[in-house]
Amino acid sequence: MHPFLQNDFHIKWATLTPDHIETDIDKALNEARSAVDAVAAQQPPLTYANTIAALDQGLDTLNHAWGLVSHLDSVNNSPELRAAHNAMLPKVSEFFASIPLNEALWETLKAYGVESGTEDLSPTKHRYIKETLADFREAGADLPPQQKKRSSEIQSQLAELTQKYSENCLDGTNAWEKIVTDEKQLSGLPKSALDAARQSAEQKGAEGWRFTLQAPSYIPVMTYADSDALRKEVWSAYSAIGRSGEHDNRQLVRQILDLRHEFAWLVGQENFANHVTERRMAASGQAALDFGDEIFKKVRDQFEKEAEQLRRYKAAEEGLPIDHPSLLEPWEVGYWAEKQRKASYAFDEEALRPYFPIDRVISGMYEIAQQIFGLRIEERDTSKVWHEEVKFYDLFDSETNEHLGSFYADWHPRESKRGGAWMNYFITGNRDPSVGERSPHLGLICGNLTPAVGDQPALLTHREVETIFHEFGHLLHHLCGDVEVKSLNGVNVPWDFVELPSQIMENWCWERESLDRIARHHETGDTIPQELFDKLLAARNYMKASANVRQLAFGKMDLELHIHWPDSAEEDLDSFVENVLQDYSVKYKTQTKSNIFNFSHLFSSPTGYAAGYYSYKWAEVLDADAFTRFQKEGILNAETGREFRIKILAKGNSEDPAKLYKDFMHRDPDPDALLRRDGLIP
């Protein structure tokens, strides 16, 4: 039967059980090895079809099958699934690491690379040949045999260590709960948080209110709870994830950093950051670091001013002298920042919640995408999904009626599901006329958003609405992809360009014209009152320098670790991070520790966002700048939207991203666009 090896577009999720994983992945591995061997042994005449394309096609089944296993590990984790996944992970990792280190294969591909100029190929295929050869070299294809062997071992070890790190983050998050039986301890918490906590307790058979470290539970406590003791307890528990006991990530992080650095040296790079960024827009670790430092210099004064203002505000509220206010505790910051925002703008974010029922937000977002990008989105039967909350949609071109792709959406937290929000894909459809008919793409979007409580729909925060738009932007990048080479489609672009399509979508969450499409009161159907909308806009740039510095600090910590490792290993890691971020950090009474032991972006996959977290800020500059064109020409302007779809979304990595950006904007990016939008420069 081999359920994981089926290539059905409509995946039969009920058949994908853990007991099939080992047999199916073993079979897929054997087929993939045979395909690699066949390409390696290919005799002249060498062509694109019997080398580059044959290699990709030979790996398709394994990539798809392992993608399904990894996906289920993210959304439906269980002891049985975890055991089956981890039993096969070393074999799969070792196989993929071995491909660029296969001497015979590399000789065949190099030989074809020399000859390929004589073949009548499209510019996209020529680009892919160059990219493939560069990928092989970057992975160590030119290394001598002993170093190739070590390179393969490193990649296999990294896969196992980062998987364990990810499991520790999930298990460490799930291991903690707080049951409160005295409602007086919950003073300040909004009704939405209390109702969710009550429901959570009931689901666990407990009395009272249950709080966890999952974002929809954690964030309201830190923002609204009047009880200093409760906030401290929750903050302390969250800060401890990955730092002790059976879910301890401290040694894993050192091992991961050691292996990454060793690998970078093996392939001739000074450090892992240079290895990662060499073919990205930044081009080097130091350039990425300089980029962040330049922004920091421009916002530093305002950042320090915001911290001082918050201290003064708290002192004044407590009747203490404001000339020399005392430092805050880290568990006080979110609480007092929210109080100050309310005082300054008379704006309570909870007042927006009733206007953001999740179904209205999503249907409104689809309306916006349909209008500006020339699409049509239709919900389909969702009986065959991996969880009852998952929905399934088809996406069409509104003019041609072509079925461009379909996607799954899974928006709420579960204990079996990893934290955060993400987009991924199962199938990249065919866009190469020489191969056959066009076929649809298949993708997915996941999140951990506020769930429904009782009979009331899930009511979201504005930030959660932005999250949905963000992940949908990634999804559109894949589904609107029109690249004839599958491996260059959609999100397979340089990492510091990949966040442009996602982050630009967040801008539609701030415009009256588009908000009226997504925000309707769940009981009355009314749009957001103008007074409340004005307050939302007025508060948009509240403590914006602090928000910028928080992201810049994550990016700097990431780069400093990967540039200066192993020198930094001589120090305690917390001390190293504290030292490099001393200017980027607010001073507190209780010194905070870094989040590197619970920071999945950096350590839950062999590379992932490692030495690439700066990409969020890099792409934010691009998105702030690119959205100015929509603001000038109409934020729901179909011509502008169609041009963005054709020149950015459809192109994937078929051309240099700097050129794609210039094709859309007709100029280079304005480096100050982000700070101007954030109100930090005129």
Whether residue 517 contacts residue 527, with contact meaning beta carbons closer than 8 Å, is answered with: no
Which residue among the candidates 332, 464, 471, 620 is catalytic per the annotation? 471
Rounded to whole angstroms, the Cα distance separating 51 from 106 reads: 11
Structure tokens at 357: 């029922």
329 part of the active site: no
> Does the CA dihedral 369-375-376-378 come out positive or negative?
negative
Tell me, what amino acid is at 528?
I
Strand order of the β-sheet with 441-446 is: 375-379, 391-397, 403-410, 441-446, 422-427
- Residue labelled with tokens 């409340």: 532
Rounded to whole angstroms, the Cα distance separating 358 from 532 reads: 19
| DSSP code string of 253-319 | HHHHHHHHHHHHHHTT-SSHHHHHHTTSSS-SHHHHHHHHHHHHHHHHHHHHHHHHHHHHHHHHHTT
Rounded to whole angstroms, the Cα distance separating 322 from 314 reads: 9
End-to-end CA distance of the chain: 64
Whether residue 126 contacts residue 116, with contact meaning beta carbons closer than 8 Å, is answered with: yes
Radius of gyration of the chain (CA): 25
Tell me, what amino acid is at 422?
W
Whether residue 657 contacts residue 493, with contact meaning beta carbons closer than 8 Å, is answered with: yes
DSSP category for residue 210: E
Rounded to whole angstroms, the Cα distance separating 51 from 40 reads: 8
Q: What are the catalytic residues?
A: 471
